[in-house]
A and B are shown apart, each in its own frame.
Chain A
Amino acid sequence: MITKDYIIRAPEGIHARPAAALVKLTRQFKAVIQLQKGEKKVALNSLLNLLSVGAKGGDTISLFIEGEDEGVAADAMDRFFNDLKE
């Protein structure tokens, strides 16, 4: 299992288009990816889950990535969150 922490840098948080893109990205991997903000932990293959977390700009979130392709998945998540600015 790989664990990663990110600070959301986009001021509006993870909104419509980025959220949909993140869910699509997640579904490309066999690994199960979960996102945690505060006490709430959700599976990332669901847009409703992701939106219901309500991640805003400046929030810290953690990812838990587990599965055979977890290395590749973690790299993809890195790229996604680094590009998520505005």
Chain B
Amino acid sequence: MTIMNIVHQLQGIGVSPGIAIGRACVIRQFEPGITGETLADEAAVEREIALFREAVGRSMEELILLMAGAETAVEEILGVQVEMLHDPMWEGEVLSKIGTDRKNAGDAVLEVTQDLVNTFGSMEDEYLRARAADIEDIRKRVMRYLRTGAAGTVEGWADHFVGVHEMVGRDEHDGVSDAAAFADQILVAMDLSPSDLIALDISRVIGFATRTGGKTSHASIVARLRGIAAVVGCGEGLDFIVDGDRLVLDGVTGILLVNPAPDVVEQYVEKRKEQLATTRFLQSLKGKEAITTDGIAIHLSANIGSIEDMEQALEYGAQGVGLLRTELLFMQSNSLPTEEEQFIFYKNILVRAAGRPVTIRTLDIGGDKALPYLPFPKEDNPFLGYRAIRISLDRKDLFLTQVKAILQASVFGECRILLPMIGSVQELRQAKALIAEAKEDLTRQQLAYDADIKTGIMIEIPSAAIMADQLAKEADFFSIGTNDLIQYTLAVDRMNEKIKALYDPFHPAVLRLIRNVIEQGHLNGLPVGMCGELAGDPQATLLLLGMGLQDFSMNAPFIPVVKNIILQSSMALARAVCAKEMDNII
């Protein structure tokens, strides 16, 4: 069969930066069908039962091996699958289809799993509906062994995996010998499941392109984690890509070029070279301290949500964590994380930070962030509603559990507590009273904690920014959250496509509020930091420096960019920039 090479440009969502130029490796998901065979005699029944048991055993071994190397969230998914493989109900039904209905093992598994997928897939509850995907994953895994009789070792399995995914134009049994040809491959798939990503040897993969998915789909997260360029949500156009097509993928713009002209490829090769040179230069700044030309040291730290982010932060030379978002821990769990689970999470991050300061923000849910297992009534104005500290002061049990976990972790490093969405002195007092209660409880239980732990507040509501002088008398530090501060000050929802142009971080009203917070903090001897997106915006660095901000916390990849500006500037220049900008306002 001859396949014509098509020239094509697809627009997807860029989810992991970088330019990848390589050959397409199209992953066709393995879809076995029912054979309709009827078993001839008892011997055949015995044989099929033995085959089924062996396939389940092998699948189990495989899952356990996969779990060993997986991130916690993935491990939990795989754990549910192990439990399902053990399940007496599904085993019973498969055995009865083989023994009584005389179906072969493959057909029996397909029929039983299809019934289960239908049952779960039609459930009201979102969590239960999602279990249908687990059952499909189990079906694929067991069917692979039943229909291909693959080997069960991990090394053998990765190659086998490529084989059974039927590389187009290739005999599926040739997977192993073809492995060497995959030097620069870009994976093209419908979507990539957790087990796909663990099983594939992605050390030889320089990019992903998927038909479905978004910024938070599993493939996107893994791509960012491993530094692989990725574009997701490319749509149906992706189906026309065949194995070996030349692909150019830009993980920033989301563009995917299929078989582009040589001069276009040349442009992207140049672009990639420039990016690499910039990256290398910025990497060379990793060990350098951020000091202005006139000798003022600035603290640059990272915003993180997980232990993986912590690793990345250290990679980019972060001097600490200015914002640990604890909601990710809650969002990735299937039920409320216990005090013990939270303690372990915070402790691991503090240990990894090795004495660098870590600021832990208490739970900031509500608004656009919901927990599936903690449903709250729908609100007309969620951003003006029941969220963050407002939930914590109402659901004291949740807050106390979290604070106790943080306090117990605090002896493992340099740790501070940060309260989100504080709008008044009264709220701060209530929260501090609860923290005192948590401390007393731990003292009673004779558990160790840092008695002098600092409690600071996010300044992200205009009322707090205006009342900074009063709040400064009772808080230990300020951290300015620009995203919400801008949205609330300007009354602009930046997710609203029609008005997002009105979302202006440099609006004079916003800048005056920020300047007031920094000034009032310093007048009262309080450290003032910023952990909103503005802190990582290179256009704002000099302006913020000039206002007197000395603590910037941002997503780790921006640290070297901001550091580079600081290294080349003086405070005198920064003050001049600030004076000019603020003058322009007035």
Interface size on A, residues (CB 8 A): 22
Size range of the chain B interface in the assembly: 20 to 34
Which of A15, A16, A52 meets B119, CB within 8 Å? A52
Which of B86, B120, B334 meets A15, CB within 8 Å? B334
Using CB atoms, name the residue of chain A closest to B126.
A12
Query: Assuming A15-B334, A48-B87, A86-B336, is B80 touching A20 (CB within 8 A)?
Result: yes
**By the criterion CB–CB under 8 Å, are B87 and A15 in contact?**
no
Q: How far is the CA of A13 from the CA of B336 in the complex (A)?
A: 13
Within 8 A of B (CB), among A11-56: 11-13, 15-18, 20, 23, 42-43, 45-49, 51-52, 54, 56
Within 8 A of A (CB), among B325-349: 334-336
Q: Which of B20-28, B205-213, B370-378, B460-468 is near enough to bind chain A?
A: B370-378
Q: How far is the CA of A51 from the CA of B87 in the complex (A)?
A: 12
* Residue picked from B127, B128, B373, most chain A C-beta under 10 Å: B128
Question: What is the 8 Å Cβ interface bit string for chain B, positions 417-445, against chain A (1 contact, 0 not)?
Answer: 00000000000000000000000000000
B125 at interface (Cβ–Cβ under 8 A)? yes
Kindly list 13 other residue pairs between chains A and B, CB separation below 8 angstroms, not including A20-B79, A48-B116. Answer: A10-B335, A11-B373, A12-B127, A12-B373, A15-B334, A16-B76, A47-B86, A48-B87, A48-B89, A48-B90, A49-B89, A51-B128, A86-B336
Using CB atoms, name the residue of chain A closest to B371.
A12
Q: Which residues of A contact B119 (CB under 8 A)?
A: 52
Q: Which residues of B contact A18 (CB under 8 A)?
A: 335
**By the criterion CB–CB under 8 Å, are B84 and A15 in contact?**
no
Question: What is the 8 Å Cβ interface bit string for chain B, positions 59-94, against chain A (1 contact, 0 not)?
Answer: 000000000000000001001100110111110000
Q: How far is the CA of A56 from the CA of B125 in the complex (A)?
A: 8
Inter-chain residue pair count (beta carbon < 8 A) = 61
Within 8 A of A (CB), among B110-147: 116, 119-120, 123-125, 127-128, 131
Query: Assuming A12-B372, A43-B89, A46-B89, is B124 touching A51 (CB within 8 A)?
Result: no
Query: Assuming A51-B120, A86-B335, is B83 touching A20 (CB within 8 A)?
Result: yes
A66 to chain B, nearest CB (A): 17
Q: Which residues of B contact A11 (CB under 8 A)?
A: 373-375
B75 to chain A, nearest CB (A): 13
A8 to chain B, nearest CB (A): 12
Q: Which residues of B contact A43 (CB under 8 A)?
A: 88-89
Which of A16, A45, A51 meets B335, CB within 8 Å? A16
Q: How far is the CA of A23 from the CA of B87 in the complex (A)?
A: 10
Q: Which residues of B contact A51 (CB under 8 A)?
A: 120, 128, 131
Q: Which residues of A contact B120 (CB under 8 A)?
A: 51-52
Q: How far is the CA of A51 from the CA of B132 in the complex (A)?
A: 11
Query: Assuming A20-B80, A54-B125, is B335 touching A47 (CB within 8 A)?
Result: no
Which of B83, B123, B127, B374 meets A47, CB within 8 Å? B83
Q: Which residues of A contact B87 (CB under 8 A)?
A: 46-49
Query: Assuming A11-B374, A12-B127, is B334 touching A17 (CB within 8 A)?
Result: yes
Q: How far is the CA of A59 from the CA of B562 in the complex (A)?
A: 55
A34 to chain B, nearest CB (A): 12
B413 to chain A, nearest CB (A): 29
Q: How far is the CA of A13 from the CA of B124 in the complex (A)?
A: 12
A43 to chain B, nearest CB (A): 7
Q: How far is the CA of A17 from the CA of B89 in the complex (A)?
A: 19
Query: Assuming A47-B84, A48-B84, A48-B116, is B334 touching A16 (CB within 8 A)?
Result: yes
Using CB atoms, name the residue of chain B closest to A11.
B375
A59 to chain B, nearest CB (A): 11
* Residue picked from A17, A46, A48, A52, most chain B C-beta under 10 Å: A48
